[in-house]
């Protein structure tokens, strides 16, 4: 690393105190305890990620977290969570985490399909199973991230889900993280989904705040997809309380001849940092990482991804669409690494942003690190305004400006959404986008009057 940052901010000092106070209570056998100690020691050397680190350049947690909010102790009541779940009306196997704690009474644990097992992360951590160190470590490219170190040290609960080899899950698996938002808290949580060889699964991850108090979230999802698996991951980060800062990590390891797709929607989400770390563990696999960011006000969305082609014959596609208004900021940092032996890698990365007004900004930083000599890799990044020609065409057919704009923006976002394979979830995503655009359209009609 090279950079030793003395822990000096109030938040960093509070984190040291929090870890010292709580570590004896945190779940885990000896191996997990060691992992926590090592992770925290790594964090102590690095401190909170800050702008002088290339990978955190645009999302300076040191500045954003003035104080480390008290650690969540689990929800006081479940009424709001219950109401929210009823509203979501998910046709899925549901795992509910409120303020980071697994809530069995809200989760669908009865009558799970054969080959699907669900337990709490806390239980898994104390189980002493042999694969824990490997599973929790995730792709090696994530090893140096101080945000994840903090997550590993302080993770308290979450879910640990296994899909047995050969099983095709009929319904999606929904991991619903709700945050009570009653008072300022911090949540460190992690969920794990292990998908056995030749299995098929759709994993939807819903993150929403129920109250108005700002939250500090540091949550991770580990997915290990075995050989010949088909896994689709859909993440929604929406309705976060104002002033919240959320770090959402995805640690994916993809086996041979597998297909792994991830789609993330960020809207109404305060400050969000997503970091995707993806490693190819086997050949002839296809990975697609896509997303839509809808930003207004002073919102901030950072998508940082590292795709590690460790083996030959891997295909990767990234497509992120950002629509940015107000004084909001979008960030896309995509790094595709093609190792020396990873011949015949086929990589294509795109980030397109539309800025709706002068105060909005977008930082695009696509990177290719290629050490193999027989590969096809490309990237493209654009930042533009709404296409005036398209707008005129639609208005010339009678669509009022706000409606014409909404249609152009919907089409822009739709190009990424159309990759979502689960039809019902694609509709959920599109409806969220339409609602966001509708709210924007309504406010522009009001301001035009």
Partner 1 sequence: MLEIRNLVVKIADEDKQILNGLNLTVNDGEVAAIMGPNGSGKSTLSYVIAGKEDYEVLDGEILLNGENVLEMEADARAAAGIFLAFQYPLEIPGVATMTFLKAAMNAQRKARGEAELLTPDFIKAVNGAADKLGIARDMLRRPLNVGFSGGEKKRMEILQMALLSPSMCILDETDSGLDIDALRIVAEGVNALRDKNRGFLVITHYQRLLDHIVPDTVHVMSKGKIVKTGGKELALELEKSGYASYGEAA
Answer for which of 252, 413, 429, 437 binds partner 1 (CB under 8 A) is 413
Q: How far apart are CA 131 and CA 120, in angstroms?
A: 16
Q: How far is the CB of 433 from partner 1 (least distance, A)?
A: 11
Answer for which of 284, 344, 401, 426 binds partner 1 (CB under 8 A) is 401
Cβ nearer to partner 1, comparing 257 with 403: 403
Cβ nearer to partner 1, comparing 68 with 404: 404
Q: Indicate if the alpha-carbon torsion angle 393, 397, 398, 402 is positive or negative.
A: negative
Q: How far apart are CA 170 and CA 98, in angstroms?
A: 25
Q: How far apart are CA 114 and CA 130, in angstroms?
A: 23
Q: Is 6 in the site for partner 1 (CB under 8 A)?
A: no
Q: How far apart are CA 359 and CA 297, in angstroms?
A: 10
Answer for which of 137, 407, 424, 435 binds partner 1 (CB under 8 A) is 407
Q: How far is the CB of 386 from partner 1 (least distance, A)?
A: 12
Q: How far is the CB of 417 from partner 1 (least distance, A)?
A: 8
DSSP, collapsed to helix, strand or coil, labels residue 111 as coil
Strand partners, 355: 324
Q: Is 423 in the site for partner 1 (CB under 8 A)?
A: no
Q: How far is the CB of 321 from partner 1 (least distance, A)?
A: 10
Contact in structure between 158 and 121 (CB atoms under 8 Å): yes
Contact in structure between 177 and 30 (CB atoms under 8 Å): no
DSSP conformation class of 228: T
Q: Is 388 in the site for partner 1 (CB under 8 A)?
A: yes
Q: Is 390 in the site for partner 1 (CB under 8 A)?
A: yes
Contact in structure between 121 and 160 (CB atoms under 8 Å): yes
Q: Is 320 in the site for partner 1 (CB under 8 A)?
A: no
**What residues contact 370, with CB distance under 8 A and at least 6 apart?**
337, 338, 377
Mode of pairing for the β-strands spanning 271-280 and 245-254 = parallel
Q: How far is the CB of 382 from partner 1 (least distance, A)?
A: 14
Q: How far is the CB of 65 from partner 1 (least distance, A)?
A: 38
Answer for which of 410, 419, 421, 426 binds partner 1 (CB under 8 A) is 410
Answer for which of 1, 128, 168, 393 binds partner 1 (CB under 8 A) is 393
Q: Is 418 in the site for partner 1 (CB under 8 A)?
A: yes
Q: Is 404 in the site for partner 1 (CB under 8 A)?
A: yes
- In a 13 Å sphere around the CA of 349, the CA atoms on its Cβ side amount to 23
Q: Is 415 in the site for partner 1 (CB under 8 A)?
A: yes
The residue ranges that bind partner 1 (CB under 8 A) are: 387-390, 392-401, 403-404, 407-408, 410-415, 418
């Amino acid at each position: 690393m090279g950079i030793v940052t003395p822990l000096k901010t109030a938040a960093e000092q509070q984190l040291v105190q929090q870890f010292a106070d709580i570590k004896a209570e945190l779940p885990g056998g000896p191996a997990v305890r060691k992992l926590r100690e090592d992770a925290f020691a790594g964090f102590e050397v690095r401190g909170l990620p800050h702008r002088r680190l290339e990978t955190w350049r645009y999302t300076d947690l040191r500045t954003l977290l003035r104080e480390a909010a008290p650690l969540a102790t689990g929800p006081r009541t479940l009424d709001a969570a219950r109401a929210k779940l009823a509203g979501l009306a998910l046709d899925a196997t549901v795992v509910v985490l409120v303020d980071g704690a697994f809530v069995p009474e809200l989760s669908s644990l009865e009558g799970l399909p054969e080959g699907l097992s669900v337990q709490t992360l806390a239980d898994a951590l104390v189980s002493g199973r042999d694969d824990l160190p490997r599973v929790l470590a995730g792709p090696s490219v994530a090893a140096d991230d101080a945000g994840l170190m903090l997550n590993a040290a302080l993770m308290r609960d979450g879910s640990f889900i296994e899909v047995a080899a050969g099983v095709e899950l009929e319904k999606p698996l929904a991991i619903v993280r709700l945050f009570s938002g009653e008072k300022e808290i911090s949540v460190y949580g992690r969920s794990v989904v292990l998908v056995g060889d030749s299995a098929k699964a759709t994993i939807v991850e819903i993150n929403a705040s129920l109250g108005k108090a700002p939250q500090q979230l540091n949550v991770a999802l580990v997915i290990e997809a075995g050989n010949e698996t088909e896994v689709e991951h859909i993440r929604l980060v929406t309705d976060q309380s104002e002033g919240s800062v959320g770090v959402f990590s995805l640690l994916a390891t993809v086996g041979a001849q597998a297909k792994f797709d991830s789609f993330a929607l960020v809207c109404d989400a305060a400050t969000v940092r997503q970091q995707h770390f993806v490693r190819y563990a086997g050949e002839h696999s296809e990975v697609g990482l896509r997303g839509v960011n809808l930003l207004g006000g002073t919102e901030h969305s950072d998508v940082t991804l590292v795709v590690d082609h460790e083996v030959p014959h891997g295909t990767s596609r990234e497509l992120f669409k950002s629509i940015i208004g107000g004084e909001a900021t979008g960030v896309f940092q995509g790094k595709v690494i093609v190792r020396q032996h990873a011949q015949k890698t086929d990589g294509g990365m795109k980030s397109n942003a539309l800025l709706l007004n002068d105060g909005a900004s977008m930082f695009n930083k696509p990177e290719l690190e290629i050490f193999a000599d027989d590969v096809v890799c490309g990237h493209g990044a654009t930042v533009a305004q709404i296409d005036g020609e398209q707008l005129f065409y639609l208005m010339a057919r009678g669509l009022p400006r706000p409606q014409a704009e909404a249609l152009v923006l919907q089409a822009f976002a739709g190009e990424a959404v159309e990759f979502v394979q689960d039809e019902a979830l694609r509709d959920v995503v599109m409806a969220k986008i339409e609602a966001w655009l509708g709210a924007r359209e309504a406010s522009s009609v009001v301001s035009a009057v």
